[in-house]
Amino acid sequence: MEPPENYSTATSFSAPFEDAHKIILRWDSTASEEARERMIFDGDRQEVDLYLQAVDEIQKTMSSTSISSDHHDQDSNDNRVNSAIQIAMARLEDEFRNILINHTSPVEVDSHILSDRVSSYSSSSWNRYTSSARSSTEFDQEEIGGGDHDDGLDPIQRADSTNSSSSYRSTSSIREIDLIPQEAVADLQSIAKRMISAGCLRECIQVYGSVRKSAVDASFRKLGIEKLSIGDIQRLEWETLETKIRKWIRAAKVCVRILFASEKKLWEEIFYGIGTAIDDACFMETVRGPAIQLFNFADAISISRRSPEKMFKILDLHDALMGLLPDIDVIFESKSSDSIRVQAAEILSRLAEAVRGILSEFESAVLREPSTVAVPGGTIHPLTRYVMNYISLISDYKQTLIELIMSKPSTGSRYSGDPTTPDMEFAELEGKTPLALHLIWIIVILQFNLEGKSKHYKDASLAYLFMMNNVHYIVQKVKGSPELREMIGDDYLRKLTGKFRQAATSYQRATWVSVLYCLRDEGLHISGSFSSGVSKSALRERFKTFNAMFEEVHRTQATWLIPDSQLREELRISISEKLIPAYRSFLGRFRSHIESGKHPENYIKYSVEDLENAVLDFFEGYHVSQHLRRRSQ
C-alpha cells in the first residue's frame, strides 16, 4: 500500500518539502555570503511570500512525519527537518529584529502636549519666601530692615495666578499612536506566529523586548527623563528638583498616555490572537524597566526630607499621578503588570502622607519661629508675609487637600495651662473641614508668635502698631483669596478684624492719652483770685509740655511704617479727629492769656493747620526735619 501523497517515508520527502528545504538553505546566513548581506523582508514581496510558505511547509512536514519502522531512518529524517526548522527560525529571528530596528525611532510628541501647564506660580518669586536654607525659621536682616517699602503686592500676586491643581484633576484620554507602519506590523505578526508555533516564544519575546525597550529608552531621553537612582535624586538641591518635577509631570503624561499605551497597542497588534496564550510578556519586557524608572522619581520625592517649601511641588506630583492612575490601571491591567499598578498606588499614598507631614511640620515651624529682632517701624514681619502667602497657596490646592487632610490639628486648650501653645476651641468652629481648621490654627499660632515678638519693642505704642499692621495684613490676605475666605469663614474673619481694630485703639490710647492730657483745663485756674482766674505760669508750662510731647511723637512716629495706604490714612484721620478739635478748643480758650505776655511764640509754637500737616508725616517710615513747620506770624 502506497502512502498518501503528503506522507513522507523514512527515506524520502515530498516534492513541496524538498522545494521548501532548498529555499530555507538558500537563506541560511551561516552558509551563504549573499544571505548574510541581504534581508528577505527588505526585498521583493514575492520572495517574502515564498520564504514564509517554505517555513509553513517545513513545519507541516515536521508535524505530519509518521513513525518509521526503521528507527535509524526516522531519526535521520527528523534531524533533517529539525535542522531546516532551526535554520528557518534563526533567519526569522534576524528578520524580526531587522524589521523592528528599521522602524524604531523615539516618539514624536506634539508641541501642545509638551506645553501643558504644570505650575501656577513663579518658583523664583516663591523662593523669596521659601528657601531650603531658611525654611520658615530664619530671615535675612536686609529683608527685615527694609523689605516693606513695596507697592502692596506680593510676588505671588504678580505671578500667574492660575489654579495649579486644576491642571491635573481632569484625566485626558489615552492617545495611542502607530509606533510602526501597519505593513511592518503585518510582517512582524506573520513572523511571530511562525516562531511561536515552532516553540521559539522565548527568543521572540527577547528580541522584541530588547529592541522596543531601546526605543522606549530613546523616547525617555527625548522627554528629558534621566536614569537617576533614588539616592541620586535625594542628593539634588531642591531648586534643581523643582525644575525636574515640572519636566517629570509633562513627561509622565506623555509616557503613560501615549508611549506606554502605544507600546501596548503594538504588542496587541503583533501578538494578540495568534493562537498562543502569552499574556503580555512582550509588553512587560519592553516597559517594566522604563516604568519603574519613571515612577522611581516620584517615589524618591515622596520619601525625601520634608520641608515647607516642598509642599506645592509634591502636591503637583500627587495631582499629576492621581490623574494618571485610571490610565495606569487600564494600560497595566493584566496580572503580570500588577507590580506597576501597585507601585503607582503606593507612591500616591506616600506623596499624600508627605503632604500631611509637611503641613504638621509647617505648623510647628510657625509656632516655634525664634527670631527676636524687632522689625524697624513696627511694619509687617517677614514671617507674616511668608505664612499668609503659604496658606493662600494651600487654599489654591483646596480640592486635593480636603481629600488628603482628614484629621484636626493638634492644638492647645484654654484648660491645658501650657504657656507655649495658644488656645483654640473646636466647639466654636463646628461644621468646618479639617483643612479649614488647620488653616485657622496656622493663623492662631502666627498671631501667638507675633504677640511674643511684639514684646521686643520697648515702646508699647509701637508694639500695638506692630500687631495692628500684621493682623490687618492677615485679614487682607484672607479677603483677597476667595478660596481662603470661604474656608476661614466670615465669623472668624470678623474676629480677626476686631483684633486689628483693638490694636489700633490700644495704640491711640498708649500714645495720645498723655498728649491730650496736656490740653485739659484742670490745674490752670486760680481759686479765689481777683485776676483773670488763669495761672499764666501754669499755662505757659502746659503749652511747653504739649509742644515737647507732640514734637517727640512726631519725630518718632514719622519713622514708623504702616505699609497699607488705606489703613495709614484711616489711623491718621482717627488721630486728627481727637487731636485737632482738642487743640483748637484749648487754643481758643487760652490764646489771649499767652499773647498778652512776653514772647508768645515760645509757647504757642503751632497753629491748628501746623498740627494737621504734621499728622500727615506719621507712619511714612522715614525721618522728618527736627522741627515742625512753624505757624505764620
Chain segment 526-573, per-residue pLDDT in tens: 765 545 588 888 999 999 999 999 999 999 999 999 999 999 999 999
The pLDDT assigned to 277 comes to 55
Task: Name the grid cell of 187.
Answer: 510582517
- Cβ proximity of 194 and 52 under 8 Å: yes
CB atoms closer than 10 angstroms to residue 564: 17
- Cβ proximity of 109 and 254 under 8 Å: yes
Task: Name the grid cell of 384.
Answer: 507674616
106 phi/psi in degrees, rounded to 5: -60, 150
**Residue whose C-alpha is closest to residue 268's, from 254, 255, 292, 284:** 284
CA distance 338 to 348: 16
- DSSP H or E segment with residue 88: helix 71-102
The pLDDT assigned to 344 comes to 96
Q: Which long-range contacts (CB under 8 A, 24 or more apart) does 325-328 make?
A: 326/171, 327/171, 327/174, 327/256, 327/257, 327/261, 328/256
CA distances from 361 to 136, 365, 419, 444, 623 (A): 10, 6, 20, 16, 41
CA distance 3 to 469: 108
The pLDDT assigned to 427 comes to 66
Chain segment 379-421, per-residue pLDDT in tens: 999 999 999 999 999 999 999 999 999 998 876 555 456 677 7
Dihedral, CA atoms, 29, 30, 32, 34, nearest 10 degrees?
Answer: 30
The pLDDT assigned to 119 comes to 38
First to last CA, the chain: 149
CB atoms closer than 10 angstroms to residue 72: 8
**Residue whose C-alpha is closest to residue 477's, from 439, 425, 437, 507:** 439
The pLDDT assigned to 490 comes to 92
Q: Which long-range contacts (CB under 8 A, 24 or more apart) does 368-373 make?
A: 368/137, 369/136, 369/137, 369/449, 370/137, 371/137, 371/138, 371/139, 371/144, 371/453, 372/453, 372/456, 373/141, 373/144, 373/456
The pLDDT assigned to 129 comes to 42
Residues with pLDDT less than 50, the chain: 1-11, 66-70, 111-112, 114-171, 415, 530, 631-633
The pLDDT assigned to 410 comes to 79
As a residue count, the chain comes to 633
Task: Name the grid cell of 499.
Answer: 483684633
The pLDDT assigned to 10 comes to 43
